[in-house]
Amino acid sequence: MSTEDKSVRKRYEQLADELARQILDGVLRPGDRLPSVRATCEARQLSPSTVFQAYYLLEAKGLVRAMPRSGYFVNSHAKKRAPEPARSTPREGAHAVDITDLVFEVLGAAKSREIVPLGSPCPHPQLFPLDALRRSLTTSTRKLSEWSAVDDLPPGNERLRQQIGKRYLAHGLDLSLDEIVLTNGAMEALSLSLQAVARPGDAVVVESPCFYAALQSLERLGLVAIEVPTHPGEGADLSELARIVERDKPKACWFMTNFQNPLGCSMSREKKRALVQLLARHAVPLIEDDVYGELYHGGRAPDSAKTFDRSGLVLHCCSFSKSLAPGYRVGWVAAGRYGREVRRLKLMTSLSGSIPAQAALADYLQQGGYDRHLRRLREVLSNQKQALVDAVTRHFPVGTRLTRPEGGYFVWADLPWEATDAMTLHRLALAEQISIAPGPMFSNQGDFRNCLRLNFGHPWGPQLEKAVQTVGRLARPRPRQHVPPAPVDDRAI
Amino acid sequence: MSTEDKSVRKRYEQLADELARQILDGVLRPGDRLPSVRATCEARQLSPSTVFQAYYLLEAKGLVRAMPRSGYFVNSHAKKRAPEPARSTPREGAHAVDITDLVFEVLGAAKSREIVPLGSPCPHPQLFPLDALRRSLTTSTRKLSEWSAVDDLPPGNERLRQQIGKRYLAHGLDLSLDEIVLTNGAMEALSLSLQAVARPGDAVVVESPCFYAALQSLERLGLVAIEVPTHPGEGADLSELARIVERDKPKACWFMTNFQNPLGCSMSREKKRALVQLLARHAVPLIEDDVYGELYHGGRAPDSAKTFDRSGLVLHCCSFSKSLAPGYRVGWVAAGRYGREVRRLKLMTSLSGSIPAQAALADYLQQGGYDRHLRRLREVLSNQKQALVDAVTRHFPVGTRLTRPEGGYFVWADLPWEATDAMTLHRLALAEQISIAPGPMFSNQGDFRNCLRLNFGHPWGPQLEKAVQTVGRLARPRPRQHVPPAPVDDRAI
C-alpha cells in the first residue's frame, strides 16, 4: 500500500469513527440524516471518495442505511448499543482462593483449532510479525556470545533492557535499567512481584472480576484474595479500596489498570494518580499488570499507574506475549524499590530467561519495526472489536450489557438474569465447538454466572459471526435444556 | 615477567608437581630421601636454583621436610592423597529455612570473568556445541508454526518430548509422553514438583549438605527442611532416612541421586532401589534432581531412582542446562502420577516454555550429535577433575579431605579444623579475584564451615593451578588475619 493510500484510508476511518461516536453519544439520533456527501466534502476538505468510504463503513457496521435518492440515515437500532454492565458487588472481606477445573477446561478448548475461539485467552497468531521475528532470531543467534548464559543472568539481557528502558522513556518514565528484571512472560513477573511484597497468609486486593491467573497465583502462594468492587468502564472503586486498605491491611494490590482482563475497562489518568497516592499513603505496593497497555485502539497511549509512582511502590509488569511474540515468553517487571528482591527471586526461581528469545527480541526492537507493527495491530483489533460488538448486539438476548473497551481484545457481556447460566452456556457452546469464557472463571466466589468474556483477537468472518449467533441462541432461556458433558479433555493441557 | 622467567618458573613447578605425584602414588614413600640437589641438577639439566625452588615448594606444602646436612625427606603424613570426608551430622528435626546473602554474593562473583571460577555453579561455556545449537536454532526457527504458541502449551513441544522419551527408553524406562512436562530449566521442574506434592508448612527431607537452590525453593514455598545425614561418597543415610520418615512424616524427599551438588557423591544402584522401596512403603514422593546424570566420567551411565519406581511416586527432574545448552533454560520433569498436577502448575506458573529454545533442542537431538558431544564432554570433565584433585592435593593444607566424584564437575573439600574458616577463606580469596563456594552455602544451619565446593568445569591451566595454590596458602592458619569486605556487589545479579 502506498503512502497516499494509507493517508486516504486513515482519513475515511477518522471520519467514520467521528460519526459513529456522534451516533452512540446521541448527537446523531435514529432517523437523523447524515450530512450530504457534498456538504461533508466541502466542510472538511475531503474528496467525495473518502466521504463515501466512510459512509459505506458506517453502513457495513449497521449504524446507518442508505435511502435511495435521499442520503444516509441513522438506523433505529443503532441509537444505543448494548449498555454497559453495572459495578460488581463482591462479598466483603478476605477469602481463601479456590481454583476449579473450569479454567483448565476452558484453556484446554483454546488448544484445539477445531473450536471457535470466543473464549480463548490469546489473539490469533497471524496478528504478529512472525517472519520478522524469525529473521531477528536467526540474526541474533549468529551473534550469541558463548558467555551469554552467564551475562544474561538476572536482571537479564542488557540490550533488551535498554530497548525496554527507551520505550519507558518515550512515555516520560526514566527508569534505572537495574530496576527492570526480565522474566518468563508477565506471569512470572507477577508471581515474583507477589513474592517480593507478600508472605503466605497475607491479603492481596484484586479486581472483581479479575484475571483467573491472578487468583491462581494467590492460591499457589498461600495468599488471600480481597475482591474490590469494580466498575466495568472505570476499574476498581477507589473509595471501596480505601475502606479495604484501612480495614484489612492488605500487603498489595494487583490491578490491571489498562484494558483489564476480563472487563476491558481502564482507569482514567486521574484515577491512576489517585490510586497511586492512596496506596502510597498506606505504603501498600501496587502490582500493576499492564500487559495490554500497548493495545490501545484510540490515538493516544494510556498512561500506567507507574507514571505517577514517586515512592517506588509500583511494580509494573509487562510482556511481549500479547503485543509481539506469543510463545517467546519474555516479560519483565519494572520493580521500583523491589528491584533487588525481584532479581534475587528470579535467580532463585528459574535462574534466567531463555537466552535466544531475549536476544531475538532485542534485535527486533533495535531494527525499529515494533511501533509500525503495533499501529497495524491496534487498528486490526479495533475493527474486530467493532465487528464483535455489532454481532453481539445483533444476536444476544435483549437486555445484554456489554463493556466498551478502548484497547486489548476482550469484551465482557453481562446477560439478562433470565438468560442461560454462563456455566451451562459454556457447556452448550462447547458441544457446538465454540468456546466462551464463563464469568465464574474470574471470581473466587463463583460470581458472574450471567457473564461471559468474549475474545475479538481473531480475524472476523462468517465463522465467528455464526458462532456469536449460536451463543446468542443458546443464551435465550428455553423450557428444558439438555446439558451435555464437556467434550474437551484437559489431558491435552 | 619475561618469557624466560615464565619458563623457569614453570620448570621448578613442573619438577615439584612430578615429585608430588611420585609421593602421592607411593613411588616416594614416607621417610624416603629426595634425590640430592646436585644429582637432580645433573639428571635433569636444571640449575641448582630451580631444583631448590621445587624442594622449597614441596616443603611449603608439607609434603617433604629438610633435615640439616642430610637433604629432603618425604613426610610421614604425605603418603596418601586427601582422604574422603566423613558423613555429615546435621542437627536432628525440622528447621525453618533461612537463606542468607551468601549465595548471592558467590553467584555475583560467578558473573565476573575477572574472577577465577573455582566457586562457580556453571561449567565453561566452550564445553558446549554452541555452533551446532545455533544451526538448530536457525533451522527450527524457519519451520516454526504460527500455532506453536498454542500447540506448545504444557506439557510442551511434542517433538522434544519424543526425543526425551527416546532417551529414557534407551535407559530402559518406557514413560508416557504425557508424564513428561517441559519446564524453564530444572529449577522450575523442581519447584513445580515441590508444589505438586507439598503445601506450606509441610516438611521435606534434603541431603546435608545440599544444593542451596533446594533450600531456597523450600523457603520460598513456606516448606520446612529436614536434613538427613549424608555420606560424601554414597549419599543420604537410608537408616537415618527411615527414622525421619517414621518420626517426622515428611511430604517428600528432594535428593540428587547422581553426582550430588555439592558433594559429587552418587547412590549405588542398590541404594537407589532401596530408597524407592522405602519411600513407596510410606507413600512419600521422591523428587529426584538428576541434572548431572549425563555427566558420568566412567564408562557406564548411572541409573536413576526413577528406574525402580513402580508406584509413580518419583518425579524425575532434569535439564539440558548442564549437559548441552546452558541459557536455553529447557528442563523437564517425568512426574509419574503427578503428571497432570505438574502440567496444571506449569500452566498457572509460567504458561509455557520459550518456544524457540524448545524447537532448537528438538532439532538438535533429532540430528543425532548429542551422544557424541556427551562422550567428549565426559572425557574433558574427567581430565579436569584429575587436574583439580592433584592441584588441591599439592596445595591445600595437610589433612584436607576430598570427595571422589565419578561425574559432574564439583568436588567437596573438607579442610582440617585448624584451617581458615570457609567464610573467611571466601572473602580472602575474593580479594585475590578467586571465587570458592564456602560450605555454609549448602546448609540451613550454617554447617560445613571447614568445607568448600570447587568447580572443575573449566579448562585447566596455570591460572587455575595458581588459584588453587593461592586458596591453599590462604587456608593455612595464620596468627592474625585481616579480612577485607567482599568486593563483589550483588547489584550485578
pLDDT digits (tens, 9 = 90+) for B6-46: 444 568 878 887 888 788 767 788 888 888 888 888 888 88
Tell me whether the omega of the peptide bond preceding residue A484 falls within 30 degrees of 0, making it cis. no
Contact across the interface for B187 and A349, Cβ inside 8 Å: yes
Cα torsion for B248, B252, B253, B254, to the nearest 10°?
-140
What is the residue-level pLDDT of chain A in tens, covering all 493 positions? Answer: 344 444 445 688 788 878 877 777 677 888 888 888 888 888 888 888 888 888 877 876 667 888 777 888 887 765 455 677 878 777 776 654 444 578 888 888 777 889 999 999 999 999 999 999 999 999 998 888 888 888 888 999 999 999 999 999 999 999 999 999 999 999 999 999 999 999 889 999 999 999 998 988 898 888 999 999 999 989 999 999 999 999 999 999 999 999 999 999 999 999 999 999 999 999 999 999 999 999 999 888 999 999 999 999 999 999 999 999 999 999 999 999 999 999 999 988 888 889 999 999 999 999 998 999 999 999 999 999 999 999 999 999 988 999 989 999 999 999 998 899 999 999 999 999 999 999 999 988 788 999 999 999 999 999 999 999 999 999 997 654 455 544 444 443 4
- Chain A residues closer than 8 Å to B491 by CB: 178, 340
- Chain B residues closer than 8 Å to A491 by CB: 178, 340
The number of beta carbons lying within 10 Å of the beta carbon of residue B17 is 18
The number of beta carbons lying within 10 Å of the beta carbon of residue B461 is 9
Using the Cβ of A220 and the Cβ atoms of chain B, whether some distance falls under 8 Å is answered with yes
Contact across the interface for B134 and A141, Cβ inside 8 Å: yes
- Chain B residues closer than 8 Å to A138 by CB: 137-138, 141
**pLDDT value, residue A68:** 73
Contact across the interface for A110 and B150, Cβ inside 8 Å: yes
Among the partner-chain residues A125, A149, A355, the one whose CB lies closest to the CB of B149 is: A125
**pLDDT value, residue B390:** 95
Q: Can you tell me whether residue B230 is helix, strand or coil?
A: strand
Using the Cβ of A148 and the Cβ atoms of chain B, whether some distance falls under 8 Å is answered with yes
Using the Cβ of B154 and the Cβ atoms of chain A, whether some distance falls under 8 Å is answered with yes
Contact across the interface for A350 and B187, Cβ inside 8 Å: yes
Residue partners of A372: CB distance under 8 A and separation at least 6 = none
Cβ atoms of residues B305 and B272 within 8 Å: yes
Contact across the interface for A352 and B327, Cβ inside 8 Å: yes
- From A165's Cα to the closest Cα of chain B, the distance in A is 18
**Residue predicted with more confidence, B12 or B240:** B240
B54, B57, B58 from B14: Cα distances, Å: 8, 11, 11
Using the Cβ of B348 and the Cβ atoms of chain A, whether some distance falls under 8 Å is answered with yes
Chains A and B form CB pairs within 8 A to the count of: 176
Among the partner-chain residues B110, B146, B199, the one whose CB lies closest to the CB of A126 is: B146
> B278-283, long-range: CB within 8 Å, 24+ apart, which pairs?
B278/B238, B278/B241, B278/B242, B278/B245, B279/B245, B279/B253, B279/B313, B280/B310, B280/B311, B280/B313, B282/B245, B282/B246, B283/B311, B283/B313
Using the Cβ of A486 and the Cβ atoms of chain B, whether some distance falls under 8 Å is answered with no
Contact across the interface for A111 and B153, Cβ inside 8 Å: yes
Among the partner-chain residues B125, B134, B150, the one whose CB lies closest to the CB of A149 is: B125
Comparing C-alpha atoms, which of A331, A152, A326 is closest to residue B327? A152
Interface of A with B in 86-115 (CB under 8 A): 99, 104, 107, 110-111, 113
The number of beta carbons lying within 10 Å of the beta carbon of residue A47 is 12
Contact across the interface for A144 and B134, Cβ inside 8 Å: yes
Give the C-alpha separation, A117 to A128, whole Å: 17
Comparing C-alpha atoms, which of A433, A467, A459 is closest to residue A123? A459
